[in-house]
């Protein structure tokens, strides 16, 4: 059962769709705005890393670079980077408009 990725032409967000029946697939629907206007995009591939290796890479002080714990945008960039390392996609969850509420 393949998983396809789509980008919504209405809201611009990415959705993954599990196709249960390849012969008769259901039309994809955006899980955010429920639009059916989606375009299929190239899926990212995964390079397997152990959890220990991912955590070690995140704990390296040289990766903190421009991290400023008092700057919400800086923290958002760091959280997105951490999310990518851990296999999560925080891009949509950490919108800049949400970060202004943290001040």
pLDDT value at position 90? 61
Judgement on whether residues 29 and 68 belong to the same structural domain of the protein: no
Q: What is the end-to-end Cα distance of the chain in Å, rounded?
A: 45
The residue range of the domain holding 33 is 3-41
**pLDDT for position 94:** 55
C-alpha to C-alpha distance for 33 and 52, rounded to whole angstroms: 37
Determine if the pTM surpasses 0.75: no
Query: 46 lies in a domain?
Result: no
Are 64 and 27 found together in one domain?
A: no
pLDDT in tens, 47-100: 677 778 777 777 777 766 677 778 888 888 878 877 776 666 665 555 544 555
Q: Is 51 helix (H, G, I), strand (E, B) or coil?
A: helix
Same domain, 58 and 92: yes
Residue 56 placed within a domain: yes
- Let me know if residue 34 belongs to a domain: yes
Whether residues 72 and 95 fall in one domain: yes
What's the pLDDT at 12? Answer: 92
71 and 97 in a single domain? The answer is yes
Total count of domains within the chain: 2
Whether 96 is in a domain gets the answer yes
Residues sharing a CB contact under 8 Å with residue 38, sequence separation 6 or more, in sequence order: 6, 7, 8, 9, 15, 28, 29, 30
Q: Same structural domain for residues 16 and 57?
A: no
Domain identity same for 55 and 98: yes
* 34 and 55 both lie in a single domain: no
Predicted confidence at residue 97, as pLDDT, reads 44
């Amino acid at each position: 059962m393949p998983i396809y990725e789509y980008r919504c032409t209405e809201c611009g967000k990415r959705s993954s769709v599990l196709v249960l029946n390849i012969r008769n697939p259901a039309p994809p629907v955006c899980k955010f705005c429920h639009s059916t206007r989606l375009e299929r995009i190239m899926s990212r591939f995964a390079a397997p890393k152990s959890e220990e290796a991912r955590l070690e890479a995140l704990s390296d002080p040289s990766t903190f670079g421009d991290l400023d714990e008092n700057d919400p945008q800086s923290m958002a960039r760091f959280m997105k980077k951490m999310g990518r390392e851990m296999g999560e996609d925080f891009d949509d969850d950490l919108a800049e408009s949400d970060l202004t509420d943290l001040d």
